[in-house]
Structure 1
Amino acid sequence: MRLVRFGLVGVLNTVVDLSLYLLLVGFLPVVLANFVSTSCGMATSFCLNRGFTFRSSGSVVRQLLLFVLVTGVGLWVVQPLVISAVPGFGVLGAKLAGMSVGLVWNFVLYHYVVFPLRSSAQLPG
């Protein structure tokens, strides 16, 4: 179920990110357009992943810092590297390739690092 919720949040984040990216790429350099669009998606993503996907009740400050670190590296290091590595895919194809790699990066690190499951001893009975 967690993976389904992550997918639903991901669809919304993708719409926000991709829409802004396509709007901005006509006016800004590709990497800057990507930075702005992913930043807007990141704010929405934290709130929805914390409350809906992972239903976490841990420390908001700790989770926010880890989330920004994990997501920032995924968005501002991993995605641009992929976008730069596949110029033959075109502007949209390169962005989609970067987003695909980022999807796997985010889920794994959110699941195990940012919003880890509490042990059954900590769960309310």
Structure 2
Amino acid sequence: MLQPNILPPPTAKLAAYMMLSEMPAPSIPWQITLFGLVGVANTAVDFVIYNLLTRRIPRIPANICSTSVAMAFSFAANFFVFQPSTFDAPGQATKFIIVTAVSLYVIQNLVIYLTTNVWVRPVNWANSLAGKFKATQNWSDAFVSKNTVKLMATGCSLIWNFLWYRYYVYV
């Protein structure tokens, strides 16, 4: 009796490549939508960890920790958003780490520093606005301040990351 030609199971790399090659490339508007959804999940993780850590440690070290956790999830999730034509996990991971590290550790911390110490108008405006709504009027100035500067830093990172991921990391 002849044995059927049984091939070994594909490696994870081959399986991922086969899956990606069968999927149509998403349009830029769809990529922006998916990137936004991944960003919402990342931001939720980032903000929860940041707020828990800032109870005990200063803002900058808390931001470094929270963004590091979010970065690990982001690499895997954004791989499926941008669906690169080739599967080069080590190369793409290296590019991702460099681009994201600049975003999270340079851009975000610079924005947090500047909006905490130099350009404080957005924080003052946010504190004033929070006091006008029943749902937020019991929030402390410190809570509003730390989340306002973090939100502004996240916005700057969002633009930076989309452009670099789309045109450099996942190509």
Q: What TM-score, normalized to structure 2?
A: 0.66
RMSD between superposed Cα atoms in Å: 0.8
Give aligned-pair identity as a percent.
40
Larger helix proportion of the pair: 1
Aligned to 1:15: 44
Q: Please list every run of at least 4 consecutive aligned residues from structure 1 whose deviation after the TM superposition is greater than 3 angstroms.
A: none
Q: Does residue 43 in structure 1 map to residue 72 in structure 2?
A: yes
Query: C-alpha separation between the residues in 2 aligned to 1:112 and 1:53?
Result: 13
From 96, 107, 112, the equivalent of 2:162 is 107
- For 1:94-118, what per-residue CA distance to the aligned partner results, in whole angstroms no more than 9, with x for missing partners? 00000000000000000000012xx
Query: C-alpha separation between the residues in 2 aligned to 1:16 and 1:75?
Result: 14
Aligned length: 115
Structure 2 unaligned blocks of 5 or more: 1-29, 124-144
Query: C-alpha separation between the residues in 1 aligned to 2:169 and 2:83?
Result: 12
Query: C-alpha separation between the residues in 2 aligned to 1:8 and 1:25?
Result: 26
Q: What TM-score, normalized to structure 1?
A: 0.89
From 79, 92, 100, the equivalent of 1:71 is 100
Structure 1 unaligned blocks of 5 or more: 117-125
- For 1:45-99, what per-residue CA distance to the aligned partner results, in whole angstroms no more than 9, with x for missing partners? 000001x211234210000000000000000000000001111321110000000
